A and B are shown apart, each in its own frame.
Chain A
Amino acid sequence: MFRVASDTLNSRVPAGPLEQKWDKHRFNLKLVNPANKRKYSVIVVGTGLAGGSAAASLGELGYSVKAFCFQDSPRRAHSIAAQGGINAAKNYPNDGDSIWRLFYDTIKGGDYRAREANVYRLAQVANNIIDQCVAQGVPFAREYGGTLANRSFGGAQLSRTFYCRGQTGQQLLLGAYQALMRQVSTGRVKMFARREMLELIVSNGAARGIVVRNLENGKLEVHTADAVVLCTGGYGNVYYLSTNAKGCNVTASWRCHRRGAYFANPCYTQIHPTCIPVSGDYQSKLTLMSESLRNDGRVWVPKNKGDHRAPGQIPDEERDYYLERRYPSFGNLAPRDISSRAAKERTDAGYGVGESGLAVFLDFRDAIARDGEDVVRKKYGNLFHMYEKITAENPYKVPMRIYPAVHYTMGGLWVDYNLMSNLPGLYVLGEANFSDHGANRLGASALMQGLSDGYFVIPYTIGDYLAGAKHGKLAEDAPECRAALQDAEARIAKLLSVNGRRTVDSFHRELGLLMWDYCGMARTKSGLEATIPRIRALREEFWTNVRVPGESGTLNQSLEKAGRVADFMEFAELLAVDALHRNESCGGHFREEYQTEDGEAARDDENYSYVAAWEFQGAGNEPVLHREPLVFENVKPSTRSYK
């Protein structure tokens, strides 16, 4: 199934006390003279929170930046859909928050599978993010006196989440986008929209450029630079149905992986507990209902199986508020992995509601009775509106029906403390890397990480690399560039030449269902072992029976999708191998064989307290496992309890 390398990956975490690591490290990093910065070029792929903030900040410093996105504008990146908020330990509510507590909650929330030093740095710079965004004009919610407001999120017992109604991601992204547009107007950043990255160019072992396809006219372009910063998001769409945007894909990461970058912990996937349930086989995506709703909504199912009365007619004593019952101290704000599994447990046991039985109630009756409908509308109006649009039910009158859905992926390309992959010059930021969330991400932490990486980490760490890189300019027609270009051309030609009988979407749906059933919320050894050959067979069928209409020299959305699905077909196998190799349950990775008596995840710290970083050996060949041991010097891994 896989081979184990004898080496140990070096995370390059600096020595010294946790609180001083980042400050000391920044002092030790080499600097690029301000007058010399413009001589260095940096490619940034993706313009979400990580990529937008990185490209803008690097432009401000004076580097020559080229930024790329596949959408028609950098403002469309899927960070825009984040609803609930962004964490920071400002302690404005005076409820006992601190950098240490944010660090501790994040490490614990990640089920002790994240790197301590990275998480501490994240908690440290979070406060700067809030300040930066306020200064950009991000309209965060305010108290009557004009100060910033906070609310609570899962996995924390205090209020540290800053928010803009139910559109926090939108407002933070527009802040980064506006900063980026300002740099475009100065000429320091050159923006390339509607470009999809198809290959990484590696020269003398270092990342030096990319091949992109101009999606409007189909032309392939080569771009070279001194470093490449990948900010291309997660791989949730390997499941076909997820809360990700339709265009989200693993291609940029996978292409780097094929060129030598290690892929870490792909089996850590986050299933979000509160999404609108699937309604039919035409379903194209799933819609999240923000976790912030669990501040006021109560989750329940009927106590009696097959109770089909209208929810309003089921009296309190016949309702099972199972999160409050099982986790009295965190209640409805239990972390995502735990809440999702609890919903699965109830519906698998036959207590589910709705037509399919694959749903539970999220009920605002008590909040409306306590605070009034207007207060609830002010907090969650746009979410209630969206729910009603999709389901034609009024959540002010009847409880929402929700079910878990794929939402976020904690795994990603392996990076060291500087956010550089094992390929020199290839940096990976935001959801695309693996480093900060361990096996489970807490709510309102994705925005924090994306902006931390882009605004406050990469501007320092990339200078250290550039100052030491003595590689000269790489011509766009150098042999390694031409080879990468030819690889991309050949792949496109192959996809167009199959001319089989099945559409790209039909393959994607089949792959997604397979992954959801055997590699989703619960996994077993036998299920995973049976799934891997089925993924291979499906991949083989894809390359002999897919039909991609049209040609490459125009806008061709079928061709775009085909390239992405082809990469998902290879990636899916690695995800399953990783899930099979990790003989423990932790966070979002739940192996049914490894659970406690009351059904909680059972970790195996003795054997699996490491990052699994996989090296590519060719599609269908056994990957090689490199391990980075996780060292906990400041917190003691314990059984995660939210009871």
Chain B
Amino acid sequence: MEIEGGNTHRISKRTILFGIIPFIVIGAMIVLLLNFSGTLFPSSIKPLPEVSIEKVEFLGNDMIVAFVRNTGPSEVTVAQADVNDRIYPAAIEPGRTLTRLADAKVIIPFIWNAGEPYKIGITTEDGTRFEKSVDSAAAAPRPTVGQASTFALIGTYVGIIPVMMGLVWYPFIRRLSPNKYNFFLSLTAGLLVFLGIDALLESNEIAVDSLAPAFNAQILIIIVAIVTLTTLLYVSQRLIQRASKRTKTDIAVEYKKGSSGGSEPDFGTRDVKSSSNSAQQKLLIKPIAISMMISIGIGLHNFGEGLAIGAAVLLGEVALSSFLILGFTLHNTTEGLAIVAPMAKSRKIPVTRLIIMGLIAGGPTIIGAWIGGFLYSPIATIIFLSIGAGAIFQVVYSIGSWMYHTNGSRGLLNNHWIIMGFAAGMLIMYLTGLLV
């Protein structure tokens, strides 16, 4: 807006007209096609129906509820419901005819057995059957205080405690030599890259298993991740610019080395050249800003993780054992390390600030578990996991760029501490991930 501000002028009527003409043509075509489609493109073939069973809930001990959505190209009428391919009396609300993308609830009175796998099927008017498998039937969590506090406890164990534990490393990291510090910074980057890839794969899995092709969910994952990444890059640049105006001296001291980079033609040259112009030299990233961005990124990631945990409990895909929670705890402890590493070398950080960051990173797990457990929506889960992935990759970029500038002329990829740390970070995540 500001940029446009200089050359604002009234858009002439002719311009508006030229802008509108294509829409008029498109509108005419739509009218024509809708009214004369039968004569223009005669076709005797009815489009194939497509119904997705998005969620199956087991209630009480004698009811199964399937949430179905018409994800096909045309209206669909549901005729029958079955459990394990055996037809059962059922009801469908609000009604058996579903317009495109409309959803309905199929209620099947059925005495089910906890822990057993089930296949829930829907047969449409033309005799096509659609099926959804449930690995292990478990009573759907009801939004009671007891269940909510169980989820809160799980969220605390999986989100808040491990992040806080990671933060305890702060004094340790502060005392490290520059090389070892670089090792831990790149280790952080490795952890985050793992989390980002994990989030993308996880959302891809949900997209394939629970969402109909009509949603194009796999493309949505990539779009959301890219948009998040670019938006956060923009936001962080703006934040840093504003912050740098206020604490100029503080930064000037810290980034003396960074501004002199660019003389050595190594792997990082492209960035160096682009940053050599005067505007880009202001790209001096405040460590606390990085840590905060990491907290937010991990918070988003943990929100998605919470959604996934809650949903897994709801969908009966997982029996929550203490071993599983322990696995998540160990896995997520590294996230706290990721938060403290970038700011370890800057001025002393108040403990309250650390705790706030820990809560930002870990707290969303609880909210995620509530939403995932009580109001599961595969599309929302995918969107949040993708946002988390985009946020995490932005953080990785920030860490990389910060290390690059603080690392002076040595660059990134010819420092074996950085390479080792990066690999170690991903490996640690992989190994602790085996526990989950």
Whether A and B are associated in the same complex: the answer reads no
Which positions in B face A, CB cutoff 8 Å? none
Which positions in A face B, CB cutoff 8 Å? none
